[in-house]
Structure formats: C-alpha cells, structure tokens
Amino acid sequence: MTFIDTLRAARDSAVAVLQEFKVAYPQYPDAVHVFYEGQSDRSFYAGYLAKRVTRLSSIRTYDCKGKPQLLKLFSAIKDQYGEPDRLLFFLDKDLDDLLSIETPGDNRVFVTDTYSIENYLVCEDILQRWIDETFRFNGVAFDMSVVLSQFRLQLQRFHRLCTPIMAWALSHRTAGTRPNLSNVQCSQLFYFANGGDVERQSGALAILDKQAGVVTSAAMIFDIRRNTRQLLNREPKTFVRGKFELWFLIAFIRHIEGVFKALATESYGSVRITTPLHEGNGIELLAPRLPEPPRLSDFLTSHAAVLAAAA
C-alpha cells in the first residue's frame, strides 16, 4: 500500500474521527460531543437534540462512517479519556440481539429498539402528515381512513414478504458470511401490483445473492426456513431492515399518488404534490414530522442536565 493509499484508508476510518475529536474536545470544553454511525443518523437525531440545548453550536457532531468504526471509536475514547458525560453515542440495533452481539452497556450509548432509525418513520402518523402537508387536492376529496387501512394491510404484507429475506441475512451472518445489505435494491425485489398489493419478485433469492455478493448453498436453505419461523414470532420492526421499510413507505406513497391522480381525472379534479419524496431525502424530510420515540425520549431526558448546560 502506498503512502497515498494509507492516507486514503485512514481518512474514512475511526482513526481519522478520533483525531478530529482530539482536536475539537479541548477547543470546545463545554460542548456536547455526539457520535453517529452516518450522515442519515445526524438528520434523524438533530431535531430532538436541538430542543434540549440553548444553542445549536453547543453540539459537536462526528460522522463515524459505520457502526464498526463507531464502536472502535467508543473503545478508544473510553481508554484515553475515561467516561466524560458530555459524550453521546447513537447506534442502530440491527440484528445484534439475534446474533448475540453485545453493545456497550454504557448510559451514554443509545441503541434503537427497532432494527434502525428508519423503522421509527414508517407509521400511520407519518403517512397522514405527509399527505396532509404535501398533497394538494383540487375538485376531489378522498377518505383518508381507507388509505390508512390499506397502509396497515400492505405494511403487514410487506413484513411477511421481508421475513424470509431477513432470515436469509441472519443465516449468512451466523455462517460467518456478511451479505452487503447496502447493495440490496428493494425496487428489484418488490413492486405494487395493479390491485394494490405489494408483491415480491420471483427468484428473489438469486437476486439477493447477486446484489449482496454471497452464495446461498442448498444446505443453508433449511437454516433460512428455521430462522423464518423464529422471526415470525417477533415484532417485525425489530428485525426488518429499516431502509427496506422506508422503501416501502415511499413506494406506497408513490402508488397512492398514482391512484389519487387517476381517480381525480375521472371526476375532472386534480392532485398536485408539493414536495417530492425519495430514498435520498426520506429521513431528512420525515424525521421532523415524527414525535419523539419513547425510548429516545427517555435517553435524552436522562442527559437533560448535560444538554441544557452545553455551551
């Protein structure tokens, strides 16, 4: 590895973030230093933190570029600085509980009770608010209770369709292989049929293997089926990948947008959308519309004094 390659690798590692923290910590002695897995987490948590500080500049944030890097950074800071209460760390649970992976038992570490932060956003309240605030109906009206009922039904269906996929991911993780779930494109796995039901494409396993860079052996199929049965007894939001759920929410909104527009045309009305929603801006646009999740509220309340005193 060349000198430039070494610098490039270090740039995105826990070492680089640790160095950033070492410089900032003495410069901002009264600030709260907040560590995230990635940029999307910053978008999610920022509003909840902002409500508890007098000035936004009193929060110093660090993008750790992944959960493994954040955990390394947590250990390195603890070894070098002890346990200062002005440091907060935010983690997604992922499949850790099913894989018996322990996260730091530290009161400064928040771990989601869902798979990830995106799961919090996929709910009826968010859907209702998004329609109320971004859909403009002219000469036509719809019963939103019907839309919400369809959303509940299709979300349950999506969870069922996702369960074998998450069982596949769990089986590979247990076997020591790590499917790259970031490469899984839900748009190639699921679609909304003309009747309004969300469906899974045929040949999903082959699609998953190709996208995630793994090979599922015939011997692993039994394990996937066993894990599927196990997951069916759990709350779906604790094991369905949050980015998959967020895809579903956005796809559902696009689907009903099409239905609204078609029905509006029949009655010479119209439907206009003021703000496009896609996976790239989903967290940024939806998180401010979400009431504070109870578990997060308890965590931030426990640090209220530190946040209020930050300067």
Check: CB of residue 221 under 8 Å from CB of residue 161: no
Backbone φ and ψ of 149, nearest 5°: -65, -40
Adjacent-strand bridge partners of 36: 63
Q: What predicted TM-score, i.e. pTM, was given to this entire model? A: 0.93
Distance, CA of 163 to CA of 195 (rounded, Å)? 22
CA 122 to chain centre: 10
Backbone φ and ψ of 199, nearest 5°: -125, 160
Distance, CA of 282 to CA of 252 (rounded, Å)? 13
Tokens of 52: 């508890």
Taking the CB of residue 178, how many other CB atoms lie within 10 A of it? Answer: 12
Distance, CA of 17 to CA of 22 (rounded, Å)? 9
DSSP letter at 190 equals E
DSSP letter at 137 equals E
Distance, CA of 311 to CA of 208 (rounded, Å)? 48
Amino acid at the residue 252: F
Tokens of 181: 């779930």
Distance, CA of 152 to CA of 263 (rounded, Å)? 21
* C-alpha angle 98-99-101 in degrees, rounded to nearest 5: 115
pLDDT of residue 6: 56
pLDDT of residue 56: 80
pLDDT of residue 14: 81
pLDDT of residue 15: 86
Q: What is the pLDDT along the chain (311 residues), one digit of tens a residue?
A: 565 665 565 555 788 899 999 999 999 989 999 999 999 999 999 999 999 998 888 999 999 999 999 999 999 999 999 989 999 999 999 999 999 999 999 999 999 999 999 999 999 999 999 999 999 999 999 999 999 999 999 999 999 999 999 999 999 999 999 999 999 999 999 999 999 999 999 999 999 999 999 999 999 999 999 999 999 999 999 999 999 999 999 999 999 999 999 999 999 999 999 999 999 999 999 999 999 999 999 999 999 999 999 86
Taking the CB of residue 11, how many other CB atoms lie within 10 A of it? Answer: 11
CA 108 to chain centre: 20
Of all helices (H) and strands (E), which one includes residue 116?
none
Distances (CA, A) of 224 to 120, 165, 229, 302: 26, 9, 9, 40
